[in-house]
Amino acid sequence: TVLYGVFGDPIRHSRSPIMLNRAFQEAGINGVYAAFHVKPEDLGEAVKGIRALGYRGINVTIPHKVDVMNYLDEIDEGALIVGAVNTIVNDEGKLKGFNTDGIGYVRSLKEETGIELKGKRVLVLGAGGAARGVAYALAKEGASCIYMANRTKARALELAETIGAFTQTVGLGMDELADVVDQVEFVLNTTSAGMHPHVDELPMPIHLLRSHHLVSDLIYNPRITRFLREAEAIGARIHGGLGMFIYQGAYAFEYWTGTPAPVAAMRQVVEQSLS
Ligand code: ATR
């Protein structure tokens, strides 16, 4: 039996164990995936435990994605740029860190909407850790210009500078959105506005959305945020955040096993667990 797991704090509500155990079963792989409640002060010891116990793969979630980098042997270039690791591969005792969140998001977006990002101008709302990972992946996918708007403009400017190494970027305050909305066809919320329990918050004013926009939200609790509901009501196409969770897990599965992830089965079991 090959061993896998996830480190987080809290970890109780993680859907990763049911999703990955279903994936192993569907693919005919003899693997077991467990959830570990790891406190921040125990993270270094827990990572040593991956080697000692011979775990093949570990996912890392909140609040450990940044700090875990201190304990690994090697870090993939994308994870280094984003500054966060969510997937560890154990190659005979050598631990390598990856970040599958951003690429998982882009795979979900392409599979579920068919959008071609190459040459497109996009608007990203927010400038935190989630925005960083996804903006890097959008740049690598060929987006020609990423407008980054944040409540705290200084953070948007800072992120725009980092991602500016990979494509054209513009950092904005929320009061400057009206100048850019007509130039983009894709709008993405990465802020926590609208996330349970703040379900009534909106990341930007709805009157600035257009019916030609594709509007996406990383949040999947609730499945459809107020932002997406109101965007759909004005005629925009919408895309929710559940696919990002599924595909970040699919990439982890593929890095660990070298086998294509059984995405349909993974989605089915996660959707069932949320309903
Ligand atoms: P994460 O890693 O999930 O991105 P984070 O780094 O704490 O978390 O970033 C949260 C993001 O959501 C930030 O862009 C934050 O804006 P500020 O930088 O101005 O704090 C944004 N955010 C949180 N609540 C918000 C709200 N009610 N309205 C608008 N933006 C909000």
Helix, strand, coil percentages (3-state) for the chain, rounded to 5, are: 45, 20, 35
At residue 275, the pLDDT reads: 80
Instruction: Please tell me the residue having the least CA distance from ligand 1 atom 21.
Output: 191
Render pLDDT for 256-271 as a digit per residue (tens, 0 to 9): 999 999 999 999 999 9
Tokens 């996912």: give the residue.
59
257 lines ligand 1 (CB under 6 A): no
Q: Which two tokens stand for residue 109?
A: 């977006």
Q: DSSP states of 80-105 as a string?
A: HHHT---EEEEETTEEEEE--HHHHH
- Check pocket membership of 144 for ligand 1, CB cut-off 6 A: no
Which residue's C-alpha comes closest to atom 16 of ligand 1? 151
- Which residues are known binding-site members for shikimate? 14-16, 61, 86, 101, 220, 248
pLDDT tens digits, 159-175: 999 999 999 999 999 99
Spell out a b/e string for 123-147, using b for 16 or more CB atoms within 10 Å of the CB, else e. Answer: bbbbbebbbbbbbbbbbbbebebbb
Residue linked to tokens 């969510």 = 86
65 classed as catalytic: yes
**pLDDT < 50 regions, the chain:** none
- Which atom of ligand 1 is closest in space to residue 174's alpha carbon? 29
Binding site for NADP(+): what residues are annotated?
A: 77, 126-130, 150-155, 218, 241
ipTM exceeds 0.90, yes or no: yes
Amino acid of residue 115: I
| Distance from residue 129's CA to the centre of ligand 1 (Å) | 9
> Is 131 a pocket residue for ligand 1 (Cβ < 6 Å)?
yes
Which residue's CA is the nearest one to ligand 1's atom 12? 191
Give helix 101-113 / helix 242-257 axis angle, nearest 10°. 120
Domains of the chain, earliest start first: 2-99+244-274 (3.40.50.10860), 102-240 (3.40.50.720)
Does 126 sit in the ligand 1 pocket, CB within 6 Å?
A: yes
Catalytic residue, chosen from 65, 96, 118, 140, is: 65
Q: Which of 192, 196, 221, 245 to mutate to test the pocket of ligand 1 (most atoms within 8 A of CB)?
A: 192
**What pLDDT shows up at residue 237?**
98
Residue bearing the CA closest to ligand 1, atom 23: 192
pTM over 0.90: yes
